[in-house]
Structure 1
Amino acid sequence: MKLPKITSLYGRIFAIFWFTMFLVILAVLALPRLDPRLTKDISPPHYSDMLQTRDRIEQEFSGGKELHSVIDEIERRSKRGNEDNKLRLYITDLDGEVQVWSRRSDFTLRMLRNFVTRVEDPLKPQQKLYGKIMLSEPFPIKLGDEDRLLYIGVKWNEPPSFLLQLFDHPFRLLLAVMLVSTPLLLWLAWALSQPARRLEKAAQRVAQGVFETDPSLEKGTSEFRQAGESFNQMVEAVNDMICRQQRLLSDISHELRSPLTRLRMAQALATRKQGESTELTRIDTEAQRLEQMIGKLLELSSMQVDNHKNREAQPLSSLWEELLTDCQFEAEQMGKVLHVSAIPERSIVCYPQLLMSALENIVRNAISYSKDEIRVDMREEAEALHIRIEDNGEGVPDEELESIFRPFYRVSTARDRHSGGTGLGLAITESAIRQHNGSVSASRSEMGGLLVEVSLPLLQS
């Protein structure tokens, strides 16, 4: 009969728990019954040997020999070169009084008398362990015209002494049983923890922006299998939602370009007919800004579409070394100095184009608004990359530091007034860093300008 397979987590725990408890209870109740120091029936082979020994004593004593000499002779024959098999023979009358015994030093009369008092039925021989001697009781024997009882002792080497200690100390016995059952419980804990660890790793990957389903989550007990299926469904739903949102942004940006193109054509026609005017110049300026804004939106949407599905491990140097070299060259052309620290020799799981654009926006802003000096410092700490970009420009008012990463937000000071920016650069940066499970913040630099700090998780080595 084939037993049904237990797939439920609670069913497995329940079954293994009760199986372990059954083993413990069975061991605690059954092992003491195996103690050879308890009075037990003699096994049939041993009983047959004892009867042969009794028959030899009767036969040789009937030949006129003294009983002591007969016992000594039988003991010598039993030795056969092995001291452990040597017999100890004891003869009593029917009342239990000891009459003949061998080697009193090995077996005291007190032990023999204690054993004799346990005899309940002389016709039903039993045995009991005393020290290292297994004493069998009693065998009726005919010596001359008298009926007597024969007790036979054999050197006994089993069980080992440590088992006897377990029998004498129930706490030690329980401890030994627990030690035997511990590997089973450890295996149970390991088996139950594996699905949880797989689920934990999958959740960590999602937290890092890697939205991938894991088929291994849908294996194991029913509870973890259901949780794994739900987790994979959630990842697929998030993937679909992000894709729809990104494509919507891209579609909107494309659609905005059509009326913008018609607007600029109308402005050009109006300028041709009426000539230059302040109003038409203002329309052209705002149209250019709108075109820049739409271009930024298209750039953002093109970088974000499906980027969560196309992550890859990249060395930090391959991401930013060439970019920072170009920025240094541009700063020199503007009469400014860009100081760049060494790039850590680590890797990061990312969408390269998006992360390169994020750092580029910050560094180019710092170059544009600095007086003559910019610093970029990179360091690794606790499996994370920390980047500091600061300049010695005019900076940003303290009350606006938290707002500069909002889309379309433009600083009220001269830092942004003459730039003609769209207010999307730092928003793109903040979005890119957040999608890589990082963080970005702004504060006032000790150099006098703006300090932007970025933190990104590194690929664990």
Structure 2
Amino acid sequence: MSDQNIDFSMVIASAVHDMKNSLGMLLNSLDELRTEHQSTLGGSPRFNTLQYEAERMHNDLVQLLGIYRLGENNLSAHIEEHFVPDFLAEHLARHTPLLEGLGISCSIEADDINGFFDDDLLTGVLNNTLNNAIRYTKSTIRLTARQEDGYLVIGVEDDGEGYPDNMQHSGTLNFKSLDFNSGSTSLGLFFASSVARLHAEGNRSGSIRLHNGGTLGGGVFEIWLP
């Protein structure tokens, strides 16, 4: 039977990778359909729900793959220099059709600064965070970027009800802190915290912060990168 031993985690990771790619193709098709039939699909609640849920599933699969690679010690950050306002604008452009379809306004307030980070990993974090903001906001989302205490701080704010007390957090999360019985495992926050931690300079490493307030008065997610 030794020849038939199966690394089940590898099987799952392979299946998740295939599903992620299929959902990516589905999302591209949905974008094309929205463009081709803007007058009929742009404001369709069912179409917007379809695109939102597909995006959410795609984000979840990206995070699962990242966490699997983290567990295999095979996830690292490839740090490059980026002009932060352009990075945020490109990121937002991907979500603009859905935001417009849902009637949600989104703005960027970023200092003209360069940052050093892994754009693929940070895109995964922002995709999930923006998707959550879409779910909980009332009408407005704001992306921010600034430098503070030698860190690049990128934030996502909304005008919703804000984070509950038990979710407000500063620092890093570990896997053992996740609650799989509550129905809300905070897996996305663990992924974001792990990505932040992969960005290090000297004895400083990145972290995430969740609090309420900001300019819009709702939830504020921030990732701090040295």
Q: Same fold per TM (> 0.5)?
A: yes
The yes-or-no answer on 1:337 pairing with 2:108 is no
TM-score (norm 1): 0.31
Residues of 1 paired with 2:133 and 2:141: CA distance?
7
Q: CA deviation at 1:442?
A: 0.8
The yes-or-no answer on 1:428 pairing with 2:197 is no
Q: CA deviation at 1:258?
A: 9.3
Contact 1:358 1:433 in 2 (8 A): no
Residues of 1 paired with 2:118 and 2:222: CA distance?
20
Residues of 2 paired with 1:347 and 1:371: CA distance?
30
Residues of 2 paired with 1:424 and 1:367: CA distance?
18
Alignment deviations for residues 187-236 of structure 1 (CA, whole Å, 9 cap, x no partner): xxxxxxxxxxxxxxxxxxxxxxxxxxxxxxxxxxxxxxxxxxxxxxxxxx
Q: Which amino acid in the other structure matches residue 432 of structure 1?
A: V
Contact 2:62 2:124 in 1 (8 A): no
Q: Which amino acid in the other structure matches residue 188 of structure 2?
A: G
Q: CA deviation at 1:402?
A: 3.3
Residues of 2 paired with 1:393 and 1:380: CA distance?
26
Q: CA deviation at 1:353?
A: 0.9
Q: Which amino acid in the other structure matches residue 354 of structure 1?
A: L
Gap change, CA 1:255 and 1:439, over 3 Å in 2? same
**Could you say which residue in structure 2 is the equivalent of 1:347?**
115
The yes-or-no answer on 1:443 pairing with 2:202 is no
SS in 2 for 1:450: strand
Residues of 2 paired with 1:347 and 1:401: CA distance?
26
Looking at CA atoms only, which structure, 1 or 2, has the larger radius of gyration? 1
Residues of 1 paired with 2:15 and 2:105: CA distance?
43
Q: CA deviation at 1:252?
A: 5.6
Q: CA deviation at 1:318?
A: 5.1
Higher relative contact order (Cα pairs below 8 Å, separated by 6+ residues): 2
TM-score (norm 2): 0.58
Contact 1:378 1:388 in 2 (8 A): yes
Residues of 1 paired with 2:179 and 2:88: CA distance?
27
SS in 1 for 2:125: helix
The yes-or-no answer on 1:356 pairing with 2:123 is yes
**Could you say which residue in structure 2 is the equivalent of 1:165?**
none
Residues of 2 paired with 1:448 and 1:411: CA distance?
30
The yes-or-no answer on 1:313 pairing with 2:81 is yes
The yes-or-no answer on 1:384 pairing with 2:151 is yes
Alignment deviations for residues 268-288 of structure 1 (CA, whole Å, 9 cap, x no partner): xxxxxxxxxxxxxxxxxxxxx
SS in 1 for 2:110: coil
Gap change, CA 1:252 and 1:401, over 3 Å in 2? farther
Q: CA deviation at 1:293?
A: 6.3
Contact 1:366 1:374 in 2 (8 A): yes
Unaligned stretches of 5+ residues in structure 2: 1-6, 17-58, 200-204
Q: CA deviation at 1:358?
A: 1.6
**Could you say which residue in structure 2 is the equivalent of 1:17?**
none
Contact 2:113 2:146 in 1 (8 A): no
The yes-or-no answer on 1:327 pairing with 2:82 is no
Q: CA deviation at 1:393?
A: 1.5
Alignment deviations for residues 286-322 of structure 1 (CA, whole Å, 9 cap, x no partner): xxxxxx96764224445873524x4333333454331
Gap change, CA 1:411 and 1:336, over 3 Å in 2? farther
The yes-or-no answer on 1:255 pairing with 2:23 is no
Q: CA deviation at 1:344?
A: 2.5
Gap change, CA 1:336 and 1:445, over 3 Å in 2? same
Alignment deviations for residues 384-411 of structure 1 (CA, whole Å, 9 cap, x no partner): 2222322122222213323995655479
SS in 2 for 1:442: strand
SS in 1 for 2:154: strand
Contact 2:157 2:221 in 1 (8 A): yes
**Could you say which residue in structure 1 is the equivalent of 2:26?**
none
Cα RMSD, aligned residues only: 3.8
| Paired-residue identity, % | 29
Residues of 2 paired with 1:410 and 1:374: CA distance?
29
Contact 1:253 1:294 in 2 (8 A): no
Gap change, CA 1:319 and 1:252, over 3 Å in 2? farther
SS in 2 for 1:307: coil
The yes-or-no answer on 1:395 pairing with 2:162 is yes
Q: Which amino acid in the other structure matches residue 329 of structure 1?
A: P
Q: Which amino acid in the other structure matches residue 337 of structure 1?
A: S
Alignment deviations for residues 131-169 of structure 1 (CA, whole Å, 9 cap, x no partner): xxxxxxxxxxxxxxxxxxxxxxxxxxxxxxxxxxxxxxx
Residues of 1 paired with 2:80 and 2:14: CA distance?
36
Unaligned stretches of 5+ residues in structure 1: 1-250, 261-291
Q: Which amino acid in the other structure matches residue 445 of structure 1?
A: G
Q: CA deviation at 1:435?
A: 1.2
Gap change, CA 1:347 and 1:369, over 3 Å in 2? same
The yes-or-no answer on 1:298 pairing with 2:52 is no
**Could you say which residue in structure 2 is the equivalent of 1:137?**
none
Gap change, CA 1:252 and 1:345, over 3 Å in 2? farther
